[in-house]
Structure 1
């Protein structure tokens, strides 16, 4: 695709109509070669230069300026399309550079809609690179842009992306607040449900489930499914089933979770969102690893398919989830060396801030070293996992991870710290330790 050149074509047409050569049009301020490049669309003149050319062509400057603006806008659209292709094909660094350059050009040209599109691309590229806190800040900034300047960038899409980052960072409260605020505004304005609003409700379901409020999550999941089925849109229904499956999974209903995630996977597979399909395959594999009995072979097959997709399309966090689950599958299959390799690979994919997922990968690594009899290394990893868990804000997820740490400590013979870890798990689930007064006659050494 070639760059738009309405301005060059208009200048050439008017020059020829007046019988001027390129040198005559250039005058003393420019050169004939510059005019030639300008007419070929290989130079972008300043406004001052354009006014001088308009004077020699006996036309109003605005007649040429409107072409310049249209050319700049069309050229930016072209650059944004290439940046989107780079992002979609798994090249987030190249996409980031292109989006950032486009944002600067749009700002300089006074084109707010293209500037916001470029900023939206910057935020997504940063997220794909695993810099979630930075991405969340950029999504926050987009939400402060006036709706009239957002153009094609829906507020719902931005909030869903923001919540996705906050969920990975363990900041469930902030994510819930952002989603609830947007949905309240939608209801106040009497906006009818759309595919994007249902995806936001589904995202909210996931946030409540991760925070441990499974009652609210269950209610919202059923509401999302009802609204999605009313729209008769497979993408919306798929999103609703996906997060309803998460709720069932968190509630320990693994068979129901598997059915819901299978339905979501079938619906997304009919579309062109390969990244969503891969993430669903990862979620389904995670459920299969926790069913009774577990199905590690099937889970591994799904995870290998997901990894193939995500190596081309996904971000670092997506790949980290795949690698951690592959480590779990290999652990169940008894290949401890492979489990260690996958867990290490998952840790390598994660940047700073991924406290909960880092802890999970460390705990899988701990189990593998325990099985190999490498208890000193296992204890070191346990300590590191505990530090990450203490910093995590995802209470229910953290509770399960603390319980896993307790089991790991028990396996290495550290029963005192295992008891401490179990208490941490109960605390995350809302239990508060209350000292019990023991009658003196029943205390050790206090009998008759």
Structure 2
């Protein structure tokens, strides 16, 4: 017998035992016609409705609830799989709506594990849509759940996603704190040589590199490679080489960086994670654009491949990085109109939360206008970039952007603003103007 029909039979039997009419059972909260439909198995009530009926029927709520849980659970599994498919196929808005609907239904049915999986999907969909601050709050909520309520969801996967979002937001301190706490727990249990353990280390490598702590980043990158070599997991090995390449790039070793990223790309292309392959191609293109000499032609080929994939299955942030790098390659190839078009496309996709990356894109846009001879527009964009850099509240990871802004000010002949931007860059690298402070103190005596 279907669960809703079994539920209807139980309600009808209990009601008749107590000598109640359908109208008496309905009371003021429900209607007699609704109770009739329930007993006929034509309505699926919420958990709150069933608990109210259980009180009137003098039975335990579970006696009624258990009729629905098996069927609802199976239906929710299908709904969650559909939502996951939408997310994987590059439809984050559709995925978000499906996950939210599944979460609401799981809550009403009293199925905490399904609710948790739905909220985990909501968090990842928000990230894919570029709504990072909302995603961070959702990830943190998931981590506060009891282990019993998490069910099949991996808390380590949530930590990795949280760190990734915090890195995009420029909140590197919080990201490192969360990642290091999880890594310490893995080390204590001696289970770092797992796919998720290596992904966590690789994520921390990116955070430390972005903050400018290249020594720690390099140490962790090597540890990740050593741990990954013990596993028969190509994804883990690829992630380790990917982030080791990032560190080499930041350390000013473009040839070593290119070799590591090429190795990671070769590993990833053996698998079927198209989004990861596209993101890696974007990272490789960035390395080539900053090489000496730069290789914009090869970078452009990689970026065109990445864009073709990410337009189908990528999120707004992925595409923003691709279009920003396309603008940089256009700039190096001398196509200033295309650089302006791609830079504007990147800014539109970034939205309002990615302040540091927005500033980086604005610097490319300013350079394109400057190279085209639009001095007034270039200066306006420079000032907008400065506002975004200040608003980002980013530390060491913004130092290079400040230095680029200083060079941009210098190119427009604004020496005073160039010096100011250089000072901002030095301060974010930890330098303090102690000589100026000493002179100020002496002047005050």
TM-score category by the smaller chain?
A: 0.7 to 0.9
* Structure 2 CA distance for aligned equivalents of residues 405 and 286 of structure 1: 18
> What does residue 19 of structure 1 align with?
none
Q: Which runs of 5+ in 2 are unaligned?
A: 11-20, 24-31, 439-445
Task: Find the counterpart in structure 2 of residue 119 from structure 1.
Answer: 119
Q: 1 CA distance for matches of 2:325 and 2:296?
A: 10
1:206-261 Cα offsets, whole Å, 9 max, x none, are 10010011001100100011011112311111111111111001001111111111
CA distance in 1, matches of 2:110, 2:38: 25
For 2:204, the equivalent position in structure 1 comes to 204
Please show how residues 62-101 of structure 1 align to structure 2 within 5 Å: 65-101=65-101
Report what 1:7 is aligned to. Answer: 3
Residue equivalent to 1:213? 213
The answer to whether the Cα contact below 8 Å between 1:6 and 1:68 also exists between their aligned partners in 2 is no
Whole-Å Cα distance in 2 between the matches of residues 48 and 165 of structure 1? 40
- Per the alignment, residue 446 of structure 1 pairs with none
TM-aligned CA deviation for residue 432 of structure 1: 2.0
Q: What's the CA shift string for 1:288-346, capped at 9, x where partnerless?
A: 10111111111111111111111121111111111100000000000000000000000
- Tell me whether 340-349 or 150-159 shows the greater mean CA deviation: 150-159
Cα distance between partner residues in 2 of 1:417 and 1:145: 49
Query: Residue 230 and residue 359 in structure 1: after superposition, are their counterparts in 2 closer, same or farther (change >3 A)?
Result: same
Change (3 A) 1:30 1:422: closer
Equivalents in 2 of 1:258, 1:109: separation in Å? 52
Change in Cα spacing, 1:137 to 1:374, as seen in structure 2 (3 Å) is same
- Contact in 1 for aligned 2:327/2:364 (Cα 8 Å): yes
Q: Normalising by the residue count of structure 2, what TM-score does the alignment of the two structures yield?
A: 0.86
Residue 430 of structure 1: how far off its partner (Å):
2.2
| 1:277-356 equivalent positions in 2, closer than 5 A | 277-356=277-356
> What do residues 29-71 of structure 1 show as CA deviations (whole Å, max 9, x unaligned)?
6699958983xxx6425648998xx99xxxx997875342100
How far is 1:6 from its partner?
Answer: 3.9
Native 8 Å contact 2:212 2:396 kept in 1: yes
The secondary structure found in structure 1 opposite 2:230 is: helix
**Alignment-derived partner of residue 29 in structure 2:** none
Instruction: Please state whether the residue corresponding to 2:413 is helix, strand or coil.
Output: coil
Name the residue aligned to 1:373.
Answer: 373
SS at match of 1:435: helix
Decide whether aligned partners of structure 1 residues 192 and 372 sit closer, same or farther in structure 2, where only a CA change above 3 A counts.
closer
Q: Mapping of 1:6-405 within 5 angstroms?
A: 6-7=2-3, 34=37, 38=41, 43-45=43-45, 47=50, 65-405=65-405
CA gap of 1:205–1:35, structure 2 versus 1, over 3 A, is closer
Comparing 235-244 and 415-424, the one that deviates more: 415-424
Whole-angstrom CA distance in 2 between matches of 1:175 and 1:35 = 50
Provide, for residues 61-105 of structure 1, a one-character-per-residue CA deviation record: whole Å limited to 9, x for no partner. Answer: 978753421001001111111111111122211211111111111
Q: CA deviation at 1:423?
A: 2.3
Residue 67 to residue 12, structure 1, CA distance change in 2 (3 Å)? closer
Seen in structure 2, the aligned counterparts of structure 1 residues 387 and 205 have a Cα distance that, compared at 3 Å, is same
Q: Which deviates further from its counterpart, 228-237 or 198-207?
A: 228-237
CA gap 1:74/1:211 in 2 versus in 1, 3 angstroms: same
Partner Cα distance (2:437, 2:361) in 1: 40
Q: CA 1:49 to 1:212, structure 2 compared with 1: closer, same or farther past 3 Å?
A: closer
Would the aligned equivalents of 1:167 and 1:175 in 2 still touch at CA under 8 Å?
yes
2:382 & 2:64 partners in 1: Cα distance? 68
* Structure 1: distance between partners of 2:401 and 2:68: 59
Q: Report if the CA contact (8 A) 1:69-1:109 is conserved.
A: yes
Aligned to 1:22: none
Distance 2:358 2:34 in 1: 62
Q: Which moved more, 1:134-143 or 1:385-394?
A: 385-394
3-state SS of the aligned residue for 1:69?
Answer: helix
- Match in the other structure for 1:442: none
Aligned CA distance change for structure 1 residues 225 and 161 (closer, same or farther; 3 Å) = same
Q: Deviations over 1:174-219 (max 9, x none)?
A: 0000001111122334445310111011100110010011001100
- List alignment gaps of at least 5 residues for structure 1: 15-25, 439-448
Tell me the distance in 2 between the aligned counterparts of 1:115 and 1:238. Answer: 33
Deviation at 1:171, TM superposition (A): 0.5
Q: Do 2:192 and 2:227's aligned partners in 1 also have CA atoms closer than 8 Å?
A: no
More deviation, 268-277/176-185: 268-277
Question: Normalization by structure 1: what TM-score?
Answer: 0.86
Corresponding residue for residue 21 of structure 1: none
